């Protein structure tokens, strides 16, 4: 077991199975596997091809950890050993994904390095994130640059790409703060995605059972903001108007009104 990813790469024999990862992935995987250091975990990788990344996951986990791979190529069965199991099938086949989901069990880390086709990435995420990722687990989608490639059905801000889909989930994570504030009003995304992280060509999701966040207030107020005096030529009017919620809302939404109000706040001599 190697202590870190860089050590693994520096000592990886040239005749070993091929690995191809973007440079910025290295530090990320360093931090992720550090979270599970010395723990027996289960890792699922969609898309194993030459098997090099399977060697990386084995090197970064304990001898009792289990790794499951999924690939469309039957030849990838050769990568199986006492720690690795391979399912052969099409990532774009919903029935195949369901069979794997039912048979493979739960995982601590799921990595999608499969076809890189945006609608495959979305369908796989919606299956495995909810049904197979444990609470506290990490779901990684690699090579999201294909969301910008026309050959993959992508494009800048192209509807249907995995990047655009992930952007919508940012709103879902924050749904508690919008109009949907009750548990029955929010989606499963809101209830189970703790955090979303965007890296270059990569989107990472952290899973947890979420409830509406509560404010924690400690200490005493040192400034009475409700009666904070407003000076200036319009001070008297502003003091009266700011008691009206509708007008306060207008000020928050208007840069001009905000500047006007801020100029009236009495500054200490």
Q: Which residues are catalytic?
A: 116
Averaged confidence pLDDT in the chain? 88
How do residues 89-126 score in pLDDT, each as one tens digit? 999 999 999 999 999 999 999 999 999 999 999 999 99
Per-residue model confidence (pLDDT) at position 3: 62
Judge whether residue 267 has pLDDT over 60.
no
Per-residue model confidence (pLDDT) at position 235: 57
Instruction: Name the H helices within the chain.
Output: 5-10, 23-35, 52-60, 94-104, 118-132, 162-173, 188-192, 235-241, 245-253, 255-264
Q: What confidence category does residue 154 fall into, taking pLDDT thresholds of 50, 70 and 90?
A: very high
**Which residue, 146, 151, 102, is CA-closest to 122?**
146
Judge whether residue 19 has pLDDT over 60.
yes
Gap between the Cα atoms of 153 and 149, Å rounded: 7
In this prediction, residues 1-8 reach a mean pLDDT of 73
Judge whether residue 64 has pLDDT over 80.
yes
**Which residues, 6+ apart, have CB-to-CB distance to 16 below 8 Å?**
52, 55
Give, in order, the Cα–Cα distances in Å from 43 to each of 61, 94, 132, 140, 214.
9, 21, 11, 11, 33
Higher-confidence residue of 226 and 133: namely 133
Higher-confidence residue of 59 and 5: namely 59
Among 28-32, 87-91, 154-158, 228-232, whose mean pLDDT is lowest?
228-232
User: Percent of the chain having pLDDT more than 90?
Assistant: 64
Per-residue model confidence (pLDDT) at position 182: 64
Q: What confidence category does residue 42 fall into, taking pLDDT thresholds of 50, 70 and 90?
A: very high
> What are 204's strand-pairing partners?
140, 197
Q: DSSP assignment, residue 89?
A: S
Q: What confidence category does residue 223 fall into, taking pLDDT thresholds of 50, 70 and 90?
A: confident
Q: DSSP assignment, residue 268?
A: P
In this prediction, residues 149-165 reach a mean pLDDT of 94
Per-residue model confidence (pLDDT) at position 244: 74
Q: What confidence category does residue 238 fall into, taking pLDDT thresholds of 50, 70 and 90?
A: low
Q: Which domains does the chain have, with CATH numbers?
A: 5-207 (3.40.50.150), 225-264 (no CATH)
Higher-confidence residue of 154 and 252: namely 154
User: What is the pTM for the complete model shown?
Assistant: 0.86
Q: What confidence category does residue 185 fall into, taking pLDDT thresholds of 50, 70 and 90?
A: confident
Q: What confidence category does residue 151 fall into, taking pLDDT thresholds of 50, 70 and 90?
A: very high
């Amino acid at each position: 077991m190697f202590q870190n990813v860089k050590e693994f790469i520096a000592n990886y024999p040239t005749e070993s199975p091929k690995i191809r990862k973007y440079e910025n992935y290295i530090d990320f995987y360093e931090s992720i596997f550090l979270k599970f250091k010395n723990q027996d975990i289960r890792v699922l990788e969609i898309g194993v091809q030459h098997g090099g990344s399977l060697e990386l996951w084995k090197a970064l986990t304990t001898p009792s950890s289990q790794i499951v791979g999924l690939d469309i190529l039957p030849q990838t069965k050769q990568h199986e050993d006492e720690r690795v199991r391979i399912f052969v099938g099409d990532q774009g086949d919903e029935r195949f994904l369901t069979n794997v989901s039912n048979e493979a069990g739960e995982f601590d880390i799921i990595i999608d390095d499969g076809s890189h086709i945006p609608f495959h990435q979305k369908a796989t995420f919606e299956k495995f994130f909810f049904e197979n990722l444990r609470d506290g687990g990490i779901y990684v989608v690699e090579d999201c640059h294909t969301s910008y490639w026309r050959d993959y059905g992508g494009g800048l801000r192209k509807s249907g790409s995995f990047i655009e889909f992930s952007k919508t989930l940012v709103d879902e994570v924050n749904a508690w703060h919008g109009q949907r504030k009750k548990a029955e009003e929010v989606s499963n995304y809101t209830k189970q995605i703790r955090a979303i992280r965007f890296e270059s060509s990569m989107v990472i999701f952290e899973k947890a059972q979420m409830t509406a966040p509560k404010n924690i207030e400690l200490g005493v107020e040192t400034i009475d903001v409700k009666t904070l005096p407003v000076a200036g030529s319009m001070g008297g009017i502003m003091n009266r108007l700011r008691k009206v919620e509708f007008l306060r809302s207008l000020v928050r939404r208007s840069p001009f009104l905000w500047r006007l109000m801020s100029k009236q706040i009495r500054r200490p001599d």
